[in-house]
Structure 1
Amino acid sequence: MKKHTTYHFGVMALVLMLLCIFSTPMSWAKKESKEICLECISVGQCLDCHEEIDNGTFAASSHGSNACTSCHRDIYDLEKHADCEVPMQPVKCGFCHKEVAKQYTQSVHADNDVGCTDCHANIHEMKSFGGDKTKVIQMCSGCHDNEDYLQSVHGKGLMAGNPDSPSCSDCHGLHDIKEMHVDDTHSTAALEAREFHTKSCQKCHADPEMMQRNNVYTLAFKTYEHDYHGKVEHLGGATYVAGCADCHTAHKQLPADDSESSISKEGLVETCGACHPKANNNFVQYMPHADYHDKENYPLLYWTFIAMTGLLLSTFAFFWLHTVLWLIRSYIEKNELHKQGIFVPHAQNPKVFYKRFTTLEMILHFAMMVSFIALVLSGLPLKFNHAPWAQGLANLMGGPQIAGLIHRWAAVVTFSYFGTTIIWVIYFLFIKQTGETFLQKLFGPDSLCPRKKDLDDV
């Protein structure tokens, strides 16, 4: 029995050895046969049938160093292909152009079934652009209307030979072209599309050297960033504000003195009216690219900036000084009471209370505190929009749009309590009968105006 079992094991081992010996060369031969066929099929053999392709032209093209089967990899048996047994399949350009294919799959062209050959029509004659931007224009114009672009300062500059003037690909890219019209305005794609209106222009207009050698305003992008539109855009609110292309159009950028320009005197009301329906001639006097640091060209804006900055700093300085002095005075008074053995004021007569503020004054103080905090929290992200914490703080309030609403409502409250205070002061000084003169009311012990005793208390 043992001998019989050993015999069977021996037969099985022999069979396995034979399988290993014969199967490996056969599979290798099959694979090698295919590779040999691919290598042996020459361009000349293919052109014997495909006479529409000129050998010299193909050799001079970008793909001239490749064999036909470098692209048509499904054809490995020429005889079967000639007999139509191996039909030619669509070429997969991504086999070689991997990075380009990766970009393409995420582009608007891929979403709309625009393939490689729709742009690179005659692949057998195609040559490198060699930096010639006009060829990009010609290619894109096969599907897209270029009339506005050719009339623009960009198009005219490029056609005149200015290498700094942008072509389609300088703004949109070549293969990673994104969708510009997104229906869902709250989506990430919509935000990216809106940001494109600014970022694509920034590539050139944020370069002072390029702008200077082309005699273009060098501070266009910097002043946009200082403008309300630019600040909100930087905080992630590009879907709520205008970008460069919204005012200057996407393709027909013309000088302001051109009557057909979107930023001409004749066209500004319509341009601004796209976002601001009530825009009129007074509204469009606004200067979006004015530099408030330029005292010579924008004196009113410059001095307004100085005045508002001074007001802001002086207000903060006054309140901080007031708070510090109050704390110092409070400490001194408590320290004096402690020396007298009084640790709880009015403990000797707990029934005596002093009401410092009237009901109206408490309401005004509460309104001031709430509105002030709201103004600070909603205004600081806009003022310091490039700070690392700015966008997070704005998002905490619901985004730039909600932060703007909070800021405006807080401003309404501020003007309300300010107006109420002015009315109350007028009533107190001129109407209320207290038996005191005007100056006594103005600088008396019940007045908030500074007086000599305040210095003595300090």
Structure 2
Amino acid sequence: MVHVFTRIIPLLLLLAMAQPAAATQGMAIDPATCLGCHGDKISAELMAKSVHGKNGCTSCHVEIVELAKHMRGEVAVGKVQCVRCHKKESAEHANSIHTQKGVQCANCHTDMHSHTSWNQDKRRVLAICVKCHKDERGFAQSVHGKGVIAGNQDSAACNDCHALHEIQALGDPSSHTNREFHTKVCLRCHADEKLVERNKISKVAVESYMESYHGKNYRLGYPEKVAGCADCHTAHAILPSADPNSSVHPNNLVKTCSSCHKKGSALFTKFYAHGEHNDRENYPILYYTFIAMTGLLVSTFAVFWLHTLLWMIRGFVENREKAAALEEGHIMHHVPEGHSQYRRFRRVHVFMHLLVIISFLGLSLTGLPLKFSDQAWAKVLMDLYGGAPNAAGFHRICAGITFVYFAMAIYMSIHFLFIRKDIKGNPLQRLFGPDSLCPNLRDISDVVGMVRWFFFKGPKPTFERWTYWEKFDFIAVFWGMFAIGGSGLMLW
């Protein structure tokens, strides 16, 4: 008796759930009748608990209208068309690589009669995917896989990267689509501030990647030219850097980097892939270099902007005073030999200045799009060059021009100190003499004199052949070569 009830109760439950739907949808046959024959293959209890529990059998098997004909085998039962109800999912599936490979709904949703919702349980997604994608079973040992298995809904499962139904073919591994995918999908989670904070994940990874040459090119629209997240961390077997099997473990970095940089060495891997210039504890060299260069830049601009502003104000007053004196006849506006012309620079100097202008503009126009890669104009400019590789080529040409005029300046300096016969004194006296571009003690008094003149405390000073600001401009080229040129050579 108990056995009878255990079979009847699920049937009654299924019937009670299905009848309203059957009445609404005009179903010809109630599920209890179907289970009278098919109960040995279909569990009424599991069917009632499934996502299809409220549907009648003929909502899927629409060909069966007359039960008698079905029982006599006169009605052919066709393949269930999921698209009748699941239009959105079917449309996505139709455009996926699964459709191209002949993978249909039932290949993943293996038992429609007991199928329950996968929502909030990524473990079921993982279990289904690895049945076919056997090569990716190592995903279960990755940081993402372990998180999924532990029930962490924030941890990335197959569908978080590839989607559930609209799974796109990635194509050629070197293609734009493929290369973009392997970084874009990572950013979905790792750029989500709430998610990374909730899971205590470092926020530095995305920020530092976007500030690197790799990230800047990705942002400018050229991911196929640089390394993305998966190139270093792999796509599926992502492990902590402390794990000996990790692709980013110190012992494996040469192999990982060499996949792109064929001449990669142990020294090459010392590069800070995710270095943070604000992190003094972990990256002291980067931190203090940033402080020094930023301090130099800010102080230089601050001093000379102030210098220019004070000169502009003082010059305006001086010109007003001269104009008033001229009107009153206190001074005569006469310049002896006023129409004489003097050549200050020889042709070689003009040529060197031309090289400076060309190289500076070229380096700036090809380098600024990388510096400001998050700006729309930067992408327009990079596209104008034909992409990052072309811009890099132009940049190197301009760098070569820079080294040419720098070498010329070195030669002229040596010639000035040791070879020229028209300048008196030994090399040290020439270096700090009145004809030299090297700063000397006279410049200190000139600076003090100019400041006094700015504030109406003294007359405008006279200068030697070169003023202190001209000397500063000349020396700026030299320290720029060591700082910018030196770092550029290392990245060449």
Alignment TM class, shorter chain as reference: 0.7 to 0.9
Give yes or no for contact 2:431–2:438 (8 Å, CA) kept in 1: no
Give yes or no for contact 1:429–1:442 (8 Å, CA) kept in 2: no
Matched residues, number:
415
Structural mapping, 1:183-202, within 5 Å: 185=175, 190-191=176-177, 193-202=178-187
Task: Give the C-alpha shift of residue 104 in structure 1.
Answer: 2.1
Task: Give the C-alpha shift of residue 135 in structure 1.
Answer: 1.0
| Distance (Å, rounded) in 2 between the aligned partners of 1:355 and 1:321 | 31
Question: Which residue does the alignment assign to 1:359?
Answer: 347
Structure 2 unmatched ranges of 5 or more:
1-22, 327-331, 451-460, 468-492
| Distance (Å, rounded) in 1 between the aligned partners of 2:189 and 2:121 | 18
2:131 is paired with a residue of what secondary structure?
A: coil
Instruction: Give the aligned residue type for 2:256.
Output: T
Task: Give the C-alpha shift of residue 85 in structure 1.
Answer: 4.9
Q: Output one character per residue of 1:32-59: Cα deviation in whole Å (capped at 9) or x when no partner.
A: xxx9995223324444554533333322
Q: Output one character per residue of 1:396-436: Cα deviation in whole Å (capped at 9) or x when no partner.
A: 22223322332233223223322321221122122222132
Among 407, 423, 439, the alignment partner of 1:435 is 423
Structural mapping, 1:332-351, within 5 Å: none
Question: Which residue does the alignment assign to 1:119?
Answer: 108
Among 42, 61, 64, the alignment partner of 2:50 is 61
Task: Give the C-alpha shift of residue 161 in structure 1.
Answer: 3.8
Structural mapping, 1:253-402, within 5 Å: 253-313=238-298, 353-402=341-390
Instruction: Give the aligned residue type for 2:114.
Output: E
Cα 1:80–1:320 change in 2 (3 A) is: farther
Cα 1:84–1:436 change in 2 (3 A) is: farther
Would you say 1:166 and 2:166 are equivalent positions?
no
Task: Give the C-alpha shift of residue 318 in structure 1.
Answer: 8.4
| Distance (Å, rounded) in 2 between the aligned partners of 1:36 and 1:355 | 100
| Distance (Å, rounded) in 2 between the aligned partners of 1:361 and 1:321 | 29
Give yes or no for contact 2:417–2:430 (8 Å, CA) kept in 1: no
| Distance (Å, rounded) in 2 between the aligned partners of 1:285 and 1:367 | 35
Would you say 1:242 and 2:232 are equivalent positions?
no
| Distance (Å, rounded) in 1 between the aligned partners of 2:385 and 2:304 | 26
2:344 is paired with a residue of what secondary structure?
A: coil
Structural mapping, 1:52-131, within 5 Å: 52-82=41-71, 84-131=73-120
Task: Give the C-alpha shift of residue 262 in structure 1.
Answer: 0.6
Question: Which residue does the alignment assign to 1:10?
Answer: none
Q: Output one character per residue of 1:146-178: Cα deviation in whole Å (capped at 9) or x when no partner.
A: 431122122223323444332222232212222
Structural mapping, 1:398-417, within 5 Å: 398-417=386-405
Task: Give the C-alpha shift of residue 232 in structure 1.
Answer: 1.5
2:238 is paired with a residue of what secondary structure?
A: coil
Task: Give the C-alpha shift of residue 393 in structure 1.
Answer: 2.2
2:110 is paired with a residue of what secondary structure?
A: coil
Question: Which residue does the alignment assign to 1:148?
Answer: 138
Structural mapping, 1:418-429, within 5 Å: 418-429=406-417
Structural mapping, 1:212-251, within 5 Å: 212=197, 214-251=199-236
Deviates most, 366-375 or 168-177: 168-177
Relative to the length of structure 2, the TM-score reads 0.73
Task: Give the C-alpha shift of residue 267 in structure 1.
Answer: 0.9
Cα 1:360–1:297 change in 2 (3 A) is: same
Instruction: Give the aligned residue type for 2:84.
Output: F
Among 43, 48, 52, the alignment partner of 2:31 is 43
| Distance (Å, rounded) in 1 between the aligned partners of 2:250 and 2:133 | 30
Instruction: Give the aligned residue type for 1:231.
Output: K
Give yes or no for contact 1:148–1:251 (8 Å, CA) kept in 2: yes
CA RMSD in angstroms, aligned pairs only: 3.7
Deviates most, 305-314 or 96-105: 305-314
Q: Output one character per residue of 1:275-327: Cα deviation in whole Å (capped at 9) or x when no partner.
A: 10100110011121121111222111011122333455567678989999999
Relative to the length of structure 1, the TM-score reads 0.78
| Distance (Å, rounded) in 2 between the aligned partners of 1:47 and 1:346 | 119
Give yes or no for contact 1:150–1:156 (8 Å, CA) kept in 2: yes
Instruction: Give the aligned residue type for 1:381.
Output: P
Identity level (%): 41
| Distance (Å, rounded) in 1 between the aligned partners of 2:295 and 2:31 | 79
